[in-house]
Every structure is written in structure tokens, then in C-alpha cells.
Structure 1
């Protein structure tokens, strides 16, 4: 009989607080807001915050509100360095960015969002709109790749749990319309964000598989006009070639 693991309650509660702060996307949250979301006792949250602040895990502003501290950037960097998926893909991503002179991103699924784990910018990056470290599934090219990998029932649950907010006039906000596009993506293994997340920014994405399992998405993004001038079909071809090369690199070590 497998021995039941006894969890450390303090650590579990600390990560509940950290998870809420992480999802706030660097916005400051008050003690009452953290208590409301975590459903933990006020004294527990206050004690956790005091401890995290003392070790530079979080920062506090003049209004006694909190956000993640800079220490977590070091932890994030260390995690990336230890991830074989990222390390094996990195030289291929760098080569593609240099060739096409646009931004190339590698992303993974994380709690119903896309988490960008590696980004390489081409020399024209100063014209590139910035992508956040996380992005919603419904209005990002890479997000749609992950949506297409879900079952119909899983996608229905996603639509019920997330507000499909119109970030631009091109954002798809109706589940039935998004479903039509996702079905095409599932067949073609190719997704687009045509200024659906941000005006002037276009993105295309393809899946990366390892042993038949979707492990990451690979995307190319840049100003819409420049992508059109360079030729969308050519960009797609190079993106697909790179994804294929990364998949073959996995096969050599599996």
C-alpha cells in the first residue's frame, strides 16, 4: 500500500498566495484582495506576506499592496536552463530568428494560458510589439494551437470559464466562430493571430510534438505590414521546417 504523503500546510498556503500574485501580471494586490481570492485566514496571509517580503520574494508599495519580487526572475531563469525542451530548441529558434529577422517564441501550456518560455528577436526587433510572458488561448496564434489539442468537451469548459474579451475589432469572441477556426487548425497544424491580440501585430504558430504528445508551440511574430512584404507563405514554410527540426532533435535523445 502506497504511503500517503503528508503535505506541509504552510508551503501549500504560501504557493496559493504566490499563484494569485503571479496571475495578477505584476499588478499590486492588497491584503484583503489576496484573502478574498485565496480564501485563507487574514492572519495566515499576512504572516506569509511578511515572510516573503523579508526574503525579497515580494515587494510592497506605499499603499501596502504586493506583487512578486525580482527574486522570482532568478528562479524562472534557472528553471528554463534546466528544461531540456527549451535547451534543445534554442539553437533552432536562434537560427530562424536570424534568418527571418522577426521574433520567434517557444511557449508551453500553463493553467489554461500560453506561457512564453523562450524568445529570440531578429535585428528588426525594435519595430516589434512586445508580447507578454503569458497570453490567452483564444486570441493568440500559439494559444489556438493548444486549444486545437483539447477535446470538444474541454474546449466547451474553457469557453464557459473564460471571458472572450475583444482586444481589437478582429478578436474572435463567439465560441461557435472560434470552434470553426480551431477545427481547421487541428487539421492543418497551423494557427494565426491576425491583429487579434494587438493592432499592427501578426503572428503564426505551429505545434511541436514529442513522442506523439504536444509539448510546445512555436511562433513567428512581427508587424503585419512587414510580414506581408516578406511573404506569409515563406514565413510559414520556415516556421514548419524549424518545428520539424526540433522534433527530430527530440527523437535522437528519446
Structure 2
């Protein structure tokens, strides 16, 4: 790492610690947390103030600057997730031949933000479309990682409809499967949404470890009975998480 990159990283660390840590905007506390000399911290803070990313509040304390606030206000996390994920899901569809999806929890349903077709049969899913969570692979991943109170409310709000003869509709059975999904780290849909459709999904986490989405592979045909996530699916998720800022670089 060259000196310019190191200095940029330190300034970004200071910005994040000032505004997102437990220092309540205290420059002194942030500098101590990061091991920065006081003079360096003040120099960096002055640069951030000039650019409008932070603004001085009470003595020695800073808040988000108007420029940063305006940038954040114009951003849409879903747009970021979609843009970051699309090329990676396209590559995964090309490599695997399966249809790839990225979905989020939205109004107690799965909403698909990205769909990339594979080489197999055309699926009925669509970008912006929704599916039930309790019987889809992406939905199971998301349900397994939402707040337990929200999950309990969801499971108690049935009835659940059997879309095929393999769909689990008893809340106790659904909860048992969600416990297994949380333990294994992935979910399967084995002809539960539609006959002859098989899916496998992995969670996508943000920098804090919170599950914010899930990625799936979907194919038709009995030969596609996965028992664990393929390496290509794991690589896809790891790439998305890196690009979202969970650590590392491409």
C-alpha cells in the first residue's frame, strides 16, 4: 500500500469513526480509537470540513456536513445493491447455466431486484416481481435472519398455501426448516414453488454482518438437486459483499 492510499484510508477511518462510532463526534476520542496523533487528526478534520463532509459542532466535536448529508439523501440502497450485483449475477448465470436472482425482504414477500437468465428453461420470475417467502429459497434465507419477533408475527399470520404437494404450510414445520437454514447457512427450494423447479440460496451481508439480501440459483429438472452451495455461488456472494464494502478489494 502506497503512502497516498494509506493516508486516504486513515481519513476515511476518521470520518467513519467520528460519525458512526461511539465517540459522539469527539475528534479526540476518535483519534485515540484509531491511534492517530492529535495533529494528524486535526489536519484531516480540517480537510473534511473544507469539503463539507463534516461540520464543527460544540468544541472538539463534529457532525455530518451538508455535502455528505446531501449525497446520502440522493442515494438509494436498493439501487446500489442492484448495480453492484447485476454483473456478478450475469457472470454466475453464464458460468452455471442456471437462472440467478437477487432478492430482498419487502412487505413480508421476496422482491426480486435482479434476474439473469441461464441456459435452461425460461422461469416465470421477473425483476420487481414478488414471491412468497415461506416456500422460496431466497425467502427462507431472509426469514431465517430477520428479527425473531417479526418472524414470529409472520408465521402466526397464516394460513399458508400449498403451491405444490411439497410445500410446507404448517408454521411449526416452516420454523423447523428456518432453524436448519440458519444452522447450515443456505436454503433450498425443492419443487415447493413450482413443479420441477429447484433453487438454492445464500445470504448477502452488509459490513455489519446483517443479512440484507440473498442470491439464488434456479434450474428445472431432477438432475439439479443440490446438497450444498456450489463454489461459483459462494464466489458470487463474496464478490458482491466485497463490492458493497464488507472488506477487501476486487
TM tier, shorter chain? 0.5 to 0.7
Question: Could you say which residue in structure 2 is the equivalent of 1:210?
Answer: 206
TM-aligned CA deviation for residue 113 of structure 1: 0.5
The superposition leaves residues 104-157 of structure 1 with CA deviations (integer Å, 9 ceiling, x where unpaired) of 001111111100011000132xx2431251011101000001110124332221
TM-score by length of 1: 0.62
Q: Aligned equivalents of 1:154 and 1:143: distance in 2?
A: 14
Q: Does 1:190 align with 2:183?
A: no
Q: In 2, are the aligned partners of 1:80 and 1:117 still within 8 Å (CA)? A: no
Q: In 1, are the aligned partners of 2:97 and 2:118 still within 8 Å (CA)? A: yes
TM-aligned CA deviation for residue 239 of structure 1: 1.1
Q: Which runs of 5+ in 2 are unaligned?
A: 1-74
Q: Does 1:227 align with 2:221?
A: no
C-alpha RMSD over aligned residues = 2.4
Larger Rg, first or second structure (1 or 2): 2
Question: Could you say which residue in structure 1 is the equivalent of 2:60?
Answer: none
The superposition leaves residues 168-206 of structure 1 with CA deviations (integer Å, 9 ceiling, x where unpaired) of 110001111111110111122200110001001011111
Q: Aligned equivalents of 2:228 and 2:234: distance in 1?
A: 10
TM-aligned CA deviation for residue 94 of structure 1: 0.7
Q: Aligned equivalents of 1:151 and 1:223: distance in 2?
A: 32
* Residues 176 and 81 of structure 1: CA distance in aligned 2, closer, same or farther (over 3 Å): closer
Q: Aligned equivalents of 2:161 and 2:200: distance in 1?
A: 20
Question: Could you say which residue in structure 2 is the equivalent of 1:25?
Answer: none
TM-aligned CA deviation for residue 233 of structure 1: 5.1
Q: Aligned equivalents of 1:196 and 1:168: distance in 2?
A: 6
Q: Aligned equivalents of 1:81 and 1:226: distance in 2?
A: 37
Q: Does 1:143 align with 2:139?
A: yes
Question: Could you say which residue in structure 1 is the equivalent of 2:156?
Answer: 160
Q: Aligned equivalents of 1:187 and 1:96: distance in 2?
A: 25
Query: Secondary structure in 2 aligned to 1:203?
Result: strand
Q: Aligned equivalents of 2:248 and 2:83: distance in 1?
A: 13
Query: Secondary structure in 2 aligned to 1:137?
Result: coil
- Runs ≥4 in structure 1, deviation > 3 angstroms? 79-82
Q: Aligned equivalents of 1:250 and 1:152: distance in 2?
A: 26
**1:168-187 mapped onto 2 (5 Å cutoff):** 168-187=164-183
Query: Secondary structure in 1 aligned to 2:156?
Result: helix
Match of 2:242 among 245, 248, 252: 248
* Residues 128 and 227 of structure 1: CA distance in aligned 2, closer, same or farther (over 3 Å): farther
